[in-house]
Amino acid sequence: MAKPSPRRVISFFSLAAVLSVAISGAEARWYGGPGQYSPVSSIVSEQLYSSLFLHKDDAACPAKGFYTYASFIRATARFPRFGATGCVDTRKREVAAFLAQISHETTGGWATAPDGPYAWGLCYKEEISPKSSYCDATDKQWPCYPGKSYHGRGPIQLSWNFNYGPAGQALDFDGLRNPEVVANCSDIAFQTALWFWMTPRETKPSCHQVMVGEYRPSPADAAGNRMAGFGLVTNIVNGGLECNRTGDERVNNRIGFYRRYCQVLGVDGGPNLDCEHQQPY
């Protein structure tokens, strides 16, 4: 992705003012509607969210105004186990991991960016100049619709017809005929990211299972050195391009975001942060 031109500079580590992320019941936002309270709002307040994604609404970011806190919280309310499984540290670690992955997928930052490279998450809402339509014509269960492109969209950059189809089925939109909705509706965009996060595949655990301690390596996983940790989440998201290679900058960028968010939330990141020695799925 091309880097945007900076439009303003804000003190990055003014984050100290919002390090206390637990908010009282009176301050919690009930964005999900009646009966849909999200426990994630007790980990990431609206003020903290704005601090983490310092430049997401800059004029230089194509996703300006798209990734609102309200949309994020409403989406989490649809997945009640996200950020709500395990002890407080486990919950914080999962949220940090999710935010790190979507930050890398949508970053507009670069090494010398104002406020550092990890202040530019959620800058993009879809892939710029996709090299293909991401149509797997061999998939007969989720056939591509003529003229449609299944390139990366939304916080997790949902890609391929075999992801758009089941995501739409689970979330009540037509992912094959109307994939554009993922880049046009912020609620659906966040929901697709959380759907991907929470859903295991035939040979892959879900990112959620990995981060909350529910992952149990199969013999094939053990042979492939696929051990639990943030690195395994990266393997699930994009292991075919990034794992089992030395010093991949994309992996390092994901880790940089994760370490930053863990620090802000006051939790350690745990073991196995990279996937350098893991076989991809």
Q: Return the DSSP state at 6.
A: P
Concatenate the DSSP letters of all residues of 127-177 into one string.
-SS-SS----TT-SSSPPPTT-----BTTTTB-SHHHHHHHHHHHTS-TTT
- Alpha-carbon distance values, 101 to 37, 105, 256 (Å): 24, 6, 10
Cα 31 from Cα 48, distance rounded (Å) = 16
User: Catalytic: 105?
Assistant: yes
Cα 145 from Cα 78, distance rounded (Å) = 28
Q: Which residue in 46, 94, 105, 126 is the catalytic one?
A: 105
Residue 158 bridge partners (DSSP): 153
Within 8 A by CB and 6+ apart from 227, the residues are 217, 271, 272, 278
Q: How far apart are the first and last CA of the chain?
A: 25
